[in-house]
Amino acid sequence: MNTTTILGACPHDCPDTCSLVTTVQDGVATKVQGNPNHPMTDGVLCAKVSRYTERTYHPDRLLYPMKRTGPKGSGQFTRISWDEALTTIALKLKPIVATRPEKLLPYSYAGTMGLVQGESIAMRFFNLLGAAKLDRTICSNAGGDALNYTLGGKLGMKMGFFAESKLIIIWGSNSITSNIHFWRIAQEAKRQGARLVCIDPRRSETADKCDLHLAIKPGTDAALALSLMHELITHDWLDHDYIAQHTLGFEALRERALQWSPERAAEVCGLQVEDIRQLAFDYAHTKPAGIRLNYGVQRSRGGGNAVRAIACLPALTGAWRHRAGGVLMSASHHARANAVGLQRPDLHRNPKAPLVNMSTIGDALNTPGLVEAMIVYNSNPVAVAPESVKVVKGFAREDLFTVVLEHFMTDTADYADIVLPATTQLEHWDIHNSYGHTDMVLNRPAIAPMGEAKTNTQIFRELSACMGLTDPLLQETDEQLLHTSLQSPANLNSAHPVTMDELLQHGFAAWPVADAPFAHGGFPTPSGKCEFVSERLAAMGLEPLPDYIPNYEPSDDSAVYPLAMISPPARNFLNSSFVNVTTLRGMEGEPLLEIHPQDAAARQLKDGDMVRVFNDRGSYECKAQITTRAQAGMVVGLGIWWRKLGANGTNVNELTSQLLTDMGRAPVFYDCAVQVASLR
């Protein structure tokens, strides 16, 4: 028997970007484990990716190109050859791109976070054609823009140093579910005497295990942050020197914060005045104090402002001076691989190409004449995009030509005209940045492609040739692309540049980042300071100071839709990935709606009743779970289930809206009012 181990990278949209060790016996991957030599991974993977072989060798894996034989959405397909698939696609697309290339829309996200199988040849292909541009807003754009306006980019503390923090505020993150390697670090801090505080409307698994859980009302975090500032300012718990040297607009922020007494915030946030006062005291007096801020706070109307308010806190207390103090939401701008070189935006020459917001794909597809053809890869929009009724209606259009590159027949693939089988991470090369830590991780193929599956890059190379595109940039090999990803001015100038040799040898390499990036200021904003007041926001006609912006759809007893619904990730799924992996689905059970005993009693609900969750946008059926994990006035539908596995063929996104956040044009998944009724 021939047994080897291959170093890889977890491809999923998760801040941990683990280094993988895959065991291969006679060409078959038998085990995927965490690399013990990679400090962040520490030899441990989450339950999902520990079962990656179950996903790769799944009996439902797409192994051949398919064409649709039944109505859109029916899932009736028949096997065809690659030749027929590519010829059919080229035949359909050629007349469109000849006269109106901007009617072709790429739709992709982070099914793989790999820089090569993500947006390399694919983006060059769409750029050279002059296709519509996709505004990639669905996940982190509100918070990302907010960090940019405040700190100058997606930058912050290095994850490992939270181990030395004495106070950790986990703000809008269910770390045990979505950032398990951070949780390990937080546990280490706890053993060293740190106090853990969780701010989350839901009593999550993480909240259960923290010293204090503040069950805030959804979408009210800016009010809480402003009242913490109020306390810091009125008690003079400030680092005046840091504020004077490294911040912009303190006087204006001071005035704003003084309007937010703990009493006022307690009312808005549904918290106790004493808890707010105590948190402010602890935040000011415990050093070092780190805030693990996460995306849960930025999925409502005022999400950008909430992130801005929270990101201002460490500059007020000078927490940045210590490497275990500050805030971390995303670290993705610390390590800068050469995405521009891979994607070549300079090749795009069609001034008519519109920017289409992926978060409002429902509206885009229902706008007459906007999109005639779509190529979907690395994403499952029919399941994950908001306001599914409109998304489905758009995908079901008879006059829309849709190609989907996938591993499985997802809800989206069901609406394709042609489905193309793509390789998984075990079958291709790739290279990864992380948005949690600051290492780059290399992925080597461990096994040969399954069936007739091809890499995304190869599919776009072949499609380019079929479309008659001759630019040699479209035929670069994955190996060439890997090298391109490491060529950038930033890399050449840095003291310890990441090299391919290092990556090949260890599987990962640390990007050079200062331990305490803002200890001496140096924020990459226009002013070089932490910008409490943002001229850039003012120039866009937006409020330059962080403010509290109430939800579009707050919970309100007297409203037709009185319950605020949030739909954060389930632990054993990764967005809509893994929902079809039987053992993982078994752990999640079935689609559930968590509802507080009080709200259940008001509706005569019994635990386990089937319920209808509805609003003006749609109706979703699932099982009620009566639990105090949901606070009164709020329900929780953990996501993101495949629609076709749900009771009435829908999921939570049947209810979410296409309204957008204050910054970043991002979706408001957690700002969504519903009503619940028993189906008994």
Binding site for ligand SF4 (CB under 6 A): 10, 12, 14, 16-18, 45-46, 48-49, 180, 574
- Strand-pairing partners, residue 618, are 615
* Binding at 201: pick from ligand MGD, ligand SF4, Mo ion, none (beta carbon under 5-8 Å per type): ligand MGD
Please, what is the minimum distance in Å from the beta carbon of residue 411 to ligand MGD?
A: 9
In this complex, which beta carbon is closest to ligand MGD, that of residue 276 or of residue 533?
276
With contacts defined by CB under 6 A, name the span among 197-205, 345-353, 482-490, 601-609 that binds ligand MGD: 197-205
Structure tokens at 622: 């699932």
Please, what is the minimum distance in Å from the beta carbon of residue 324 to ligand SF4?
A: 22
Q: Please, how many CA atoms are within 13 Å of residue 108, restricted to the half-sphere of its CB?
A: 22
Please, what is the minimum distance in Å from the beta carbon of residue 262 to ligand SF4?
A: 37
In this complex, which beta carbon is closest to ligand MGD, that of residue 102 or of residue 427?
427
Q: Is 422 in the site for ligand MGD (CB under 6 A)?
A: yes
Q: Is 86 in the site for ligand MGD (CB under 6 A)?
A: no
Cβ-based neighbours of 249, under 8 Å, separated by 6 or more: 531, 532, 533, 544, 545
* Binding at 322: pick from Mo ion, ligand SF4, ligand MGD, none (beta carbon under 5-8 Å per type): none
Rounded to whole angstroms, the Cα distance separating 429 from 414 reads 28
Rounded to whole angstroms, the Cα distance separating 533 from 304 reads 14
In this complex, which beta carbon is closest to ligand MGD, that of residue 111 or of residue 130?
111
Structure tokens at 385: 């995009």
With contacts defined by CB under 6 A, name the span among 7-15, 89-97, 343-351, 476-484 that binds ligand MGD: 7-15
In this complex, which beta carbon is closest to Mo ion, that of residue 115 or of residue 196?
115
Query: To 5 degrees, how large is the angle CA 400–CA 401–CA 405?
Result: 130
Cβ-based neighbours of 83, under 8 Å, separated by 6 or more: none
In this complex, which beta carbon is closest to Mo ion, that of residue 139 or of residue 579?
139
Q: Which of residues 133-162 bind Mo ion (CB under 5 A)?
A: 139
In this complex, which beta carbon is closest to ligand MGD, that of residue 249 or of residue 436?
436
Cβ 361 vs Cβ 412: under 8 Å = no
Q: Is 171 in the site for ligand MGD (CB under 6 A)?
A: yes
Please, what is the minimum distance in Å from the beta carbon of residue 573 to Mo ion?
A: 12
Rounded to whole angstroms, the Cα distance separating 486 from 675 reads 51
In this complex, which beta carbon is closest to ligand MGD, that of residue 165 or of residue 173?
173
Q: Is 402 in the site for ligand MGD (CB under 6 A)?
A: no
Q: Which of residues 535-594 bind ligand MGD (CB under 6 A)?
A: 566-569, 571, 573-577
Query: To 5 degrees, how large is the angle CA 293–CA 297–CA 300?
Result: 160
Single out the residue of 127, 137, 148, 410 in contact with ligand MGD (rule: CB under 6 A): 410
Can you state the angle between helices 303-317 and 221-234, rounded to 10 degrees?
20
In this complex, which beta carbon is closest to ligand SF4, that of residue 10 or of residue 189?
10
Please, what is the minimum distance in Å from the beta carbon of residue 531 to ligand MGD?
A: 23
Nearest to 67 by CA among 416, 398, 467: 416
Q: Where are the beta strands (DSSP E) in 371-507?
A: 373-377, 401-406, 418-421, 430-432, 439-443
Cβ-based neighbours of 426, under 8 Å, separated by 6 or more: 8, 22, 29, 32, 52, 53, 56, 445, 446, 447
401-406 and 373-377 beta bridge pairing = parallel
In this complex, which beta carbon is closest to ligand SF4, that of residue 14 or of residue 329?
14
* Binding at 551: pick from Mo ion, ligand MGD, ligand SF4, none (beta carbon under 5-8 Å per type): none
Please, what is the minimum distance in Å from the beta carbon of residue 109 to ligand MGD?
A: 3
Cβ 56 vs Cβ 66: under 8 Å = no
CA 183, 184, 185, 191 torsion-angle sign: positive
* Binding at 185: pick from Mo ion, ligand SF4, ligand MGD, none (beta carbon under 5-8 Å per type): none
Q: Where are the beta strands (DSSP E) in 157-260?
A: 167-171, 195-199, 212-214, 247-248
* Binding at 45: pick from ligand SF4, Mo ion, ligand MGD, none (beta carbon under 5-8 Å per type): ligand SF4
In this complex, which beta carbon is closest to ligand SF4, that of residue 138 or of residue 584?
584
Q: Is 109 in the site for ligand MGD (CB under 6 A)?
A: yes
In this complex, which beta carbon is closest to Mo ion, that of residue 135 or of residue 531?
135
Q: Which of residues 216-245 bind ligand MGD (CB under 6 A)?
A: 216, 218-219, 221
Quick one: DSSP state of residue 205?
A: H
Cβ 247 vs Cβ 216: under 8 Å = no
Structure tokens at 492: 């050449």
Q: Is 407 in the site for ligand MGD (CB under 6 A)?
A: yes
Please, what is the minimum distance in Å from the beta carbon of residue 139 to Mo ion?
A: 3
Query: Could you give phi then psi for residue 290, rounded to 5 degrees?
Result: -115, 140
Q: Which of residues 12-31 bind ligand MGD (CB under 6 A)?
A: 13-14
Amino acid found at 10: C
355-357 and 212-214 beta bridge pairing = unpaired
Torsion of CA 88, 92, 95, 97, to 10 degrees: -100
Please, what is the minimum distance in Å from the beta carbon of residue 312 to ligand SF4?
A: 29
Cβ 11 vs Cβ 4: under 8 Å = no
Please, what is the minimum distance in Å from the beta carbon of residue 379 to ligand MGD?
A: 3
Q: How many CB atoms lie within 10 A of CB 674?
A: 25
Single out the residue of 125, 126, 161, 377 in contact with ligand MGD (rule: CB under 6 A): 377
Q: Which of residues 460-489 bind ligand MGD (CB under 6 A)?
A: none
Q: How many CB atoms lie within 10 A of CB 84?
A: 13
Per CB under 6 A, residues contacting ligand MGD are: 11, 13-14, 109-112, 117, 138-139, 171-174, 177-178, 199-202, 204, 216, 218-219, 221, 294-297, 300, 377-380, 384, 405-408, 410, 422, 456, 566-569, 571, 573-577, 639-640, 652-653, 656, 669-670
Applying CB under 5 A, which residues contact Mo ion? 139
